[in-house]
Amino acid sequence: MKESITLHDKTFVPYLTNEELEAAIDRLAEIINLEHQNEKEPVILLCVLNGAIMFTSELMKRLDFPIELMTIKVASYSGTRSGGHIQEVMGITGSVKGRKVIICEDIVDTGATMVYLDKRLRESGASDVKICSMLLKPEVYKQPLKLDYVAMEIPNRFIVGFGLDYDQLGRNYKDIYVLKD
C-alpha cells in the first residue's frame, strides 16, 4: 500500500487494505451463499457501474449458486459530493421480469441510488430485490429501505480505490484510501 496517492488536486492516505476488503467479501459471500443455497433459477447480480465492478467481480467468484450478471449505470456524484439527483446513464442490460435480483453497489451513503434502483427493478417486474453493498456509511444513510447485505460499515469520509473514484481517477487501486485531512 502506498503512503499516499494524489488524484487531481487531492491527496489520499491508506485506509483499508486489500486483505481487509477480501476478508469482508469472504464473510459476505458466506451469508449470501447460505441464503441462496437452494436456488433453481439463476439469480441476477446487477452490477452498478462503474464503481461496483471490482466488488461485483470479487463477490461473483465466491458465489456457488447459479447467477447471471447484468449491469446498469447511474450517476449521482460530482467531485466529492452526491448530488441527490439520480440519472440513469445506461439501462439494465437484460430483463428482470419475474427474476430475483441482487443489486451490487460499491458504497451506500445517502441511499438515494438504492431507493431509485429498488423502485426501478420492482416496476420492471423483478420478483425479489436484495441490496448488497461493499461499504455503508450508516451515519448518513437515512432511508427506510433495508440493506440486505453489507460487507463493512465506515465513517462518513471520502474514499477512493477498489472501484471508488474521485472524478473518475483512483478506481484501479486494490486498496482503499481516504481523503487526507
| Active-site amino acid positions | 109
The CA–CA distances, whole Å, from 59 to 45, 76, 80, 82 equal 10, 24, 26, 25
Cell of 168: 473518475
What angle, 0 to 180 degrees and rounded to 10, lies between the N-to-C axes of helices 18-35 and 53-60? 60
Nearest C-alpha neighbor of 15 from the set 168, 155, 151 = 155
Answer whether 15's CB lies under 8 Å from 39's CB. no
Residues 24 and 175 sit within 8 Å (Cβ to Cβ):
no
Dist CA 159 CA 91 (whole Å): 26
CB 162 within 8 A of CB 36: no
- In angstroms, the CA 160 to CA 149 distance is 21
